[in-house]
Amino acid sequence: MTRRRLENIALAGITLTAGAIWIFPLYWAFVTSIRSDARVVSDGAGLIPDEFNPTSYVDALFNTSLIDWYINSIGTSLIITVVVLVTGMMCAYALSQMQFPGRRLLYLVVLASFMVPAQTLVVPQFELMNRLDLINRWGGIILPQLVVPVVIIVYKQFFDALPKEMKEAVVLDGGGDYTLLFRVYLPLNWGITTALGIITFIMSWNAFLWPFLVVTTENMMTIPVGITQVNDAFGVAYARVMSVALLAAAPVVIAYLIFQKRVTEAVMISSGVKG
């Protein structure tokens, strides 16, 4: 019994320490963001909040294109999430349920592309977008982010595991592939769909490298790319950078708090695939 107690206390201690390490940068960013720029760089600016000065937030909101970046981020992330889910599901359905020549080969291609790190594709992708004249266009930001093999793989595994009779029952009831996919299989896997939706959304919200390369027009930037502009335009304005960063992270943090369980699930599902 006492041994159990000790263990619990030790575990709680470890968890709390890990939590503190995790929250510290956020805390520091917050403390910095509510100080004036002068105070931030002055001597003796410690870890304790000693000033409440919302200037940097006001600045961030009204003297940068933060609102535009927000809208851009929300727009592109939503479009990417929806398109990735719908196409991924349909692709997985075809690979799992339909008979056509080259099916296995196609799936191998999907698996292979899952193994290729996105960074290695940046140069050919840029070249491709350039030829398609999509640099500095929404299409250029969105298109390359629509390829998420893990979504296809997770859906395919799910479809593969469903009993054949379910499909046959639908066929006899007079339904086709679309009925089967959208009226039976989709409602059967809302859990997986929300989980995949959440990770796709977070992935594209946080995407930096590609949007950074493909967009140079400031009002087309997404938030992570926009943050770099705050730095450049005003020198090192720590308070303002931190407030923009916090505002950028806020939606993801809030979403995370709401969907906590689903996100954990999502990470487990997609890493389960990674093995």
Partner 1 sequence: MDGVKLTNIRKAFGPFEVIRDVSLEIPKGDFGVFVGPSGCGKSTLLRMIAGLENTSGGRIEIGGRDVTHVEPAKRGVAMVFQSYALYPHLSVAENMGFSLRLARAPRHEREAKVREAARILQLTDHLDKKPSALSGGQRQRVAIGRAIVREPEVFLFDEPLSNLDAELRVQMRLELTRLHRQIGATMIYVTHDQVEAMTLADDIFVLKGGHVMQSGHPLHLYDDPDNRFVAGFIGSPSMNFVSGVVTRADDTGLVARTEEGELRARVLGPKPGPGAEVVLGIRPEHLAPVEAGGLPVRVEVAEELGGQSFVHARSASGSDIVFERRENRARLDGQALRLGAAAEKVFAFTPEGGRLR
Q: Residue numbers of the site for partner 1 (CB under 8 A)?
A: 163, 165-166, 168-169, 171-175, 179, 184, 187-188
CA 18/CA 143 separation, integer angstroms:
38
| Minimum distance of partner 1 from residue 92's CB (angstroms) | 19
CA–CA distance, 107 with 94 (Å, rounded to integer): 10
Output 9 or 183, the one with its CB closest to partner 1: 183
Nearer to partner 1, 2 or 99 (CB): 99
Closest of 146, 136, 178, 151 to residue 78, by C-alpha:
146
Distances (CA, A) of 23 to 2, 11, 17: 31, 18, 10
Given the complex with partner 1, which of 7 and 168 has the nearer CB atom? Answer: 168
**DSSP per residue, 60-78:** HHHTSSHHHHHHHHHHHHH
**Measured from the CB atom, is 127 or 160 closer to partner 1?**
160
Helix 55-62 and helix 66-97, axial crossing angle in degrees, nearest 10: 70
What is the end-to-end Cα distance of the chain in Å, rounded?
A: 37
* CA 260 and chain centroid, separation: 14
Which C-beta is closer to partner 1: that of 141 or that of 180?
Answer: 180
Nearest distance from C-beta of residue 185 to partner 1, angstroms: 10
Q: How far is the CB of 169 from partner 1 (least distance, A)?
A: 4
Instruction: For the CB of residue 178, give the shortest distance to partner 1 in the complex, in Å.
Output: 11
- Cα gap 67→60, rounded to integer Å: 9
Shortest reach from residue 14's CB to partner 1, in Å: 40
